[in-house]
Amino acid sequence: MAGNPNGKPRGAAAILLALFPALLAIGCGGGGTTRLAPRHLSGPPLCSRLQARIAGHVGTPAATELSGLVLSRAHHGVLWTHNDSGDRARVFAVAPGGRLLGEVAVTGAENFDWEDIAIGPGGGGRDALYVGDIGDNLAQRSDIAVYRLPEPPPGGGTATADRLGLRYPDGAHDAEALIVDPSTGALVIATKDLSGRARLYVAAHPSPAAVTTMRRAGEVSLGNSLPVTAGDVSADGATVALRTYDRAFVWSRHSGESLVAATRRRPCSPRADLLAEGQGEALALTANGRAFYTVPEGKRPALRRYAAAKGSRAPAR
């Protein structure tokens, strides 16, 4: 697509490209390796059958390739989002119904391939937005970046970002999921692999003063799912989620436990078909982790809210 520095496929082509290895693994036995789909465990309400509701459509014509989504903790009823590669450095504040609340230009940043957005600790006790310029479809970037900026008012304007340069310890990777620990500020990036797994890399104390080499902290096995395209942690820190094009995976997190440690347990997979949305690369948990919002790429994309269906319970072990 013109204006896309990574030559990244869009729409149905991208989904089919990502879907092919998963279908091949199903049909051919995954090269002799049995991949277990996640069990539906008791725990988070999201582990039950979910009901999707279209809350509205993002109304601004500028929002055509939304690739990240996060729910503000400081401003009620505000979702922050941004476009994928090819756009200028800016974020949008939208209401859950889709109405544009404001556009914020981010100075000190460039949008090479913005893929996800998160909220975490900022200076002076304020929240900060973390925008992940972590996409690398050709796996050739020597380093990537996360832009950290104090969460601005949603009405629009300009905000200045610190560039947190990051480097993988084992070569370049493509990634679309960024999670920030709400208590420690540690950054976690989950790679976009076609193998049914996602590698997890951690930057505990990134600084704008130098490029930080991340630590490979583990990986998660997602069975025959499609690649990971987004992630989030609830404001209370108790629920961690990753999404792929077709479904979501959810973990409960114990008090004092790191985000990566929580993902070492087997996740539950909420009963909801996210592939029906289109090219979905965004997920935002609510503050208590009992629901989440999504938005796909495309013109006038639909904002959906997923929550447990009435009378539905998380299955027992």
Residue 6 lies in a domain: no
- Residue pLDDT, tens place only, 242-254: 999 999 999 999 9
d(CA 95, CA 84): 20
User: For residues 22 and 196, is the Cβ–Cβ distance under 8 A?
Assistant: yes
The CATH number of the domain where 222 resides is what?
A: 2.120.10
Residue 151 lies in a domain: yes
Please name the residue that has the structure tokens 């620990």: 181
Cα torsion through 259, 260, 265, 266, rounded to 10: 90
Please name the residue that has the structure tokens 């639909």: 302
- Residue pLDDT, tens place only, 50-79: 999 999 999 899 999 999 999 999 999 999
Residue 302 lies in a domain: yes
Residue 35 lies in a domain: yes
pLDDT under 50: residue ranges of the chain: 1-3, 12, 16-42, 316-317
User: For residues 94 and 52, is the Cβ–Cβ distance under 8 A?
Assistant: no
Residue 2 lies in a domain: no
Q: How many distinct structural domains can be found in the chain? A: 1
Which pair of structure tokens corresponds to residue 83?
Answer: 């476009």
Domain assignment of residue 299, given as a range: 11-308
User: For residues 151 and 127, is the Cβ–Cβ distance under 8 A?
Assistant: yes
Question: What are the backbone angles phi and psi of residue 26, rounded to the nearest 5°?
Answer: -65, -45
Residue 47 lies in a domain: yes
Residue 51: partners with Cβ closer than 8 Å, 6 or more residues away: 306, 307, 308, 309, 310, 312
Cβ–Cβ contacts within 10 Å for residue 77, how many?
Answer: 13
Residue 315 lies in a domain: no
pLDDT at 194: 85
Residue 230 lies in a domain: yes
Which pair of structure tokens corresponds to residue 98?
Answer: 């889709």
Coil, strand or helix at 83: strand
